[in-house]
Amino acid sequence: MAHGIEMVGSDPQGKQILVIGDPGRLFLDVDQLDAGRIECCSKAADGIQAAAAQQFALIGLEMRGLAGRLDLILTDLREKSRAKVILLARIDEEPIAIRLVGRSDAGPRADDYVICPTTLQRICRHVQVGDRAVPASLASDTSGELETQIRVLERLATEDDLTGLKNRRYLWEFSRQMLQYAHSRHVRMTLFVYDIDDFKHYNDTYGHTVGDTILREIAVLMRRSCRSHDVVGRLGGDEFAVVFWDDPQNCPSTVRSDRRLAKAVHPREAIFMAQRFREAIERSEWRFLGPQGKGVLTISGGLASFPQDGTTIEQLFQKADAALMEAKRGGKNRIYLVGSPPSDVVRM
């Protein structure tokens, strides 16, 4: 049954925000929640029922524990309420949240998402609540200027300013939390680390402006070569990394439940996408390098998978880096798997 954080004399009809999930996990200021304005439901079914019974301006939906059910729950919320819906996500759930917010198909979608734990004021500032104003007790400032400032700060904290990819700090934290998820849900995760062969030569010969263009174009090609939920980032300089993982929203139930898959060989999807990326670089014209640019640029990379190559983020990065170095020593323009001896994926 839905349970609100009630106070004596509060008016249930005056509540404007519905939170579906565990406030203790979601909010840093859980003891300061405005009981007269917030309804909390620990279960999705109770939250859907509350959304149908009352008019809320904003609904926050915790993603934790809803793998494979998010589409259905969003559909129910959309049918029963006109409120704006934001997803309350952990950092490792962000790729799914981004897809659900930005999806262009006919399926249900959320209006926005917030990384948790957070504060209630942060949610109110993060999402405009249409014509229904959020009271000052819940949000001290919901102006567009403040919203813009917050989004800029978020981007600076998590994105690489040159390529627009996720930065090293984000990659590290995402990978750490994703390993916990992969261990508990028995899903597959593969780390791909790569850099541009002889990048210093291009910087020295053509200048840093061309070098920056190469980095940006490489970032675009990698994004196109992998799936929307995979996380692509720049570690620094000309070194990049990708976290390939099983999206529970799109994986068959057999993949989510079969423990043997987590211990299998390197996932073919990761090998395929890494190889597709390398081939895309070879086919690109690279006109800014002159008429002979096509086929000049190459990358070398290393792949390491959980759990067979490592069970911590430090181990996976160490193994992927070692495979990358073997690829360099093997002649460059190749991607190696962890192994003894390492295997070039072009031969698989």
Global model pTM greater than 0.85 = no
pLDDT at 102: 72
d(CA 348, CA 344): 7
pLDDT at 333: 85
Are the C-beta atoms of residues 15 and 2 closer than 8 Å to each other? no
Is a pLDDT exceeding 80 seen at residue 236?
Answer: yes
Domain boundaries defined on the chain: 12-158, 168-347
Q: For residue range 273-309, what is the model confidence (pLDDT) as tens digits?
A: 998 998 899 888 888 887 777 778 999 999 999 988 9
Percent of the chain with pLDDT over 70: 75
Question: What phi and psi, each to the nearest 5 degrees, are found at residue 309?
Answer: -100, -10
Cis peptide before 307 (omega within 30 of 0): yes
Are the C-beta atoms of residues 121 and 140 closer than 8 Å to each other? yes
- In single-letter form, the type of residue at position 38 comes to I
Question: What's the CATH class of domain 12-158?
Answer: alpha beta
Average per-residue pLDDT in the chain?
Answer: 79
Is a pLDDT exceeding 70 seen at residue 129?
Answer: no
User: What mean pLDDT do residues 39-66 have?
Assistant: 92
User: What mean pLDDT do residues 91-108 have?
Assistant: 77
Residue 118 bridge partners (DSSP): 27
Q: How confident is the model at residue 314 (pLDDT cuts 50, 70, 90)?
A: very high
pLDDT at 1: 39
Instruction: Judge whether 12-158 and 168-347 match in fold.
Output: no
Instruction: Could you please state the CATH topology (level 3) that the domain comprising 168-347 is classified under.
Output: Alpha-Beta Plaits (3.30.70)
pLDDT at 261: 45
Report the half-sphere exposure of 47 (CA within 13 A, side-chain side): 25
30, 42, 272 from 112: Cα distances, Å: 21, 21, 32
d(CA 337, CA 88): 36
User: What mean pLDDT do residues 12-37 have?
Assistant: 76
Q: Is 110 helix (H, G, I), strand (E, B) or coil?
A: coil
d(CA 176, CA 181): 9
Is a pLDDT exceeding 80 seen at residue 343?
Answer: no
3-state SS record for 272-283: HHHHHHHHHHHH
